[in-house]
């Protein structure tokens, strides 16, 4: 759902700018999410030039998929051809050498191997999936990216200098802040009891006002967390009483509503790209606590390249029951750094907030990028 929403917003943006353009979205319904039907239904009603086609599910094929390669296997089950790509370097070798640093042109600083997503290091197929995706990118005529020139100027320049890479169009931020669609079932962030206790101690010791969205880890047969029936079952004894009037512990909450509130001065983020763009849109300084997928790479970019966030632990990864526990002292230190009114990241985020809005206005970088893309599409007819 987190990927589909900005894709739909991109489609709506394009057809609003060009009356001769029509877009069809193929929806591969992996988990029978009712929100998919709601989203496609609402979008279909917004314009006759935006259409959705829900592809049928092959239940027998889904039963044969491996957990680590589920996404690529699911896509392969709905298309006839599979593509491969070969390189001289096997990225999975970095699983045994996490302290290595890689040269990646789109980053200003050397990229630490320990921040590579776990699936990149999966020799059983996960890394192959991403190599396949990379090859498909190079075979396109253009790439639309949910970012904006001012945020990732170095990356845009480095991509434009590589003749093997098609034209990249930064057209973001693509946000749907008032959709009314809940991502409650799609939010995967949660912590075990040991980590919850350390967070609680850090919040209490920091003495800052706080709002904590705390969710129960998913059972073995699910990817998504649920709500605690009784928060006292997981929190340290007496925590709620000791922090009464200072903080509030809740279940799921609308992130956009929280970030837009004037009383909020900082945000501990898992560093999903949508969350990053929302934080920048509202001018919210971040502390990075990535968990999975590309979030470690996003955290590295925010902290090291952009200097727009405080580091809690950039290479934190959820590894089942063996996940490292970050101690309360480290968390408290990051919170104090984040909330320091003299912290330079506040000025950087505030400045980028203004650039975010200007990028989408007529004459702005993303507005112009959309125009160039439309010109290319229409010129190919």
pLDDT tens digits for 242-285? 999 999 999 999 999 999 999 999 999 999 999 999 999 999 99
Residue 27's nearest CA partner among 46, 2, 52 is 52
What is the rounded CA–CA span in Å between residue 71 and residue 64?
12
The tally of domains found in the chain comes to: 2
> Is 140 domain-assigned?
no
Residue finishing a domain among 30, 63, 96: 63
Mean pLDDT of 115-132: 83
Helix (H) / strand (E) element for 246: namely none
CB 4 within 8 A of CB 36: yes
What is the rounded CA–CA span in Å between residue 62 and residue 80?
16
Angle at CA 2, nearest 5°, toward 212 and 225?
A: 45
User: Which two structure tokens, joined as six digits, stand for 32?
Assistant: 């029978």
The overall pTM is greater than 0.95: no
365 beta partners: none
Contacts of 14 (CB under 8 A, 6+ apart): 21, 23, 370, 373, 374
CB 81 within 8 A of CB 91: no
336 with 197, same domain? yes
Residue 119's nearest CA partner among 92, 85, 84, 90 is 92
What tens digit of pLDDT does each residue of 57-80 get? 767 766 766 667 667 777 777 664
> Is 158 domain-assigned?
no
> Is 78 domain-assigned?
no
> Is 101 domain-assigned?
no
> Is 166 domain-assigned?
no
CB 287 within 8 A of CB 84: no
Residue finishing a domain among 63, 93, 110: 63
The residue range of the domain holding 5 is 1-63
> Is 296 domain-assigned?
yes
- Backbone phi and psi for residue 324, each to the nearest 5 degrees, phi listed first: -65, 145
> Is 371 domain-assigned?
no
User: Which two structure tokens, joined as six digits, stand for 263?
Assistant: 């009383």
Residue 8's nearest CA partner among 168, 208, 125, 144 is 144
**Band (86; pLDDT cuts 50, 70, 90):** very low
> Is 210 domain-assigned?
yes
Mean pLDDT of 186-210: 91
343 with 197, same domain? yes
């Amino acid at each position: 759902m987190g990927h589909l929403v900005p894709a739909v917003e991109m489609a709506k943006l394009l057809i609003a700018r060009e009356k001769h353009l029509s877009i069809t979205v193929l929806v591969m319904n992996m988990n029978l999410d009712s929100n998919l039907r709601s989203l496609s239904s609402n979008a279909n009603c917004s314009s006759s030039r935006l259409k959705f086609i829900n592809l049928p599910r092959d239940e027998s094929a889904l039963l044969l998929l491996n957990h680590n390669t589920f996404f690529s296997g699911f896509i392969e089950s709905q298309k006839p051809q599979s593509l491969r790509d070969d390189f001289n370097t096997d990225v999975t070798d970095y699983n045994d050498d996490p302290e290595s640093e890689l040269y990646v042109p789109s980053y200003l600083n050397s990229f630490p191997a320990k921040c590579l997503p776990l699936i990149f290091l999966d020799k059983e197929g996960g890394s192959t999936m991403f190599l396949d995706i990379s090859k498909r990118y190079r075979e396109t005529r253009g790439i639309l990216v949910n970012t904006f020139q001012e945020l990732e100027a170095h990356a845009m320049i480095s991509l434009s200098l590589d003749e093997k890479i098609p034209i990249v169009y930064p057209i973001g931020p693509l946000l749907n802040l008032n959709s009314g669609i809940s991502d409650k079932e799609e939010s995967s962030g949660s912590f075990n009891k040991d980590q919850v206790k350390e967070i609680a101690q850090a919040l209490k010791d920091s003495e800052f006002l706080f709002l904590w969205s705390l969710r129960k880890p998913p059972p073995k047969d699910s990817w998504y967390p649920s709500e605690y029936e009784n928060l006292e079952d997981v929190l340290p004894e007496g925590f709620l009483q000791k922090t009464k009037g200072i903080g509030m512990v809740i279940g799921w909450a609308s992130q956009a509503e929280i970030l837009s509130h004037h009383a909020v001065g900082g945000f501990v983020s898992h560093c999903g790209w949508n969350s990053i763009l929302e934080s920048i849109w509202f001018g919210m300084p971040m502390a990075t606590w990535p968990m999975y997928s590309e979030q470690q790479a996003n955290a590295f970019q925010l902290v090291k390249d952009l200097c727009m966030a405080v580091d809690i632990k950039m290479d934190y990864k959820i590894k089942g029951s063996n996940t490292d526990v970050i101690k309360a002292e480290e968390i408290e230190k990051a919170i104090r750094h984040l909330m320091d009114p003299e912290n330079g990241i506040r000025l950087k985020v505030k400045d980028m907030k203004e650039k975010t809005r200007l990028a989408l206005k007529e004459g702005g970088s993303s507005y112009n990028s959309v125009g160039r893309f439309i010109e290319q599409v229409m010129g190919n007819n």
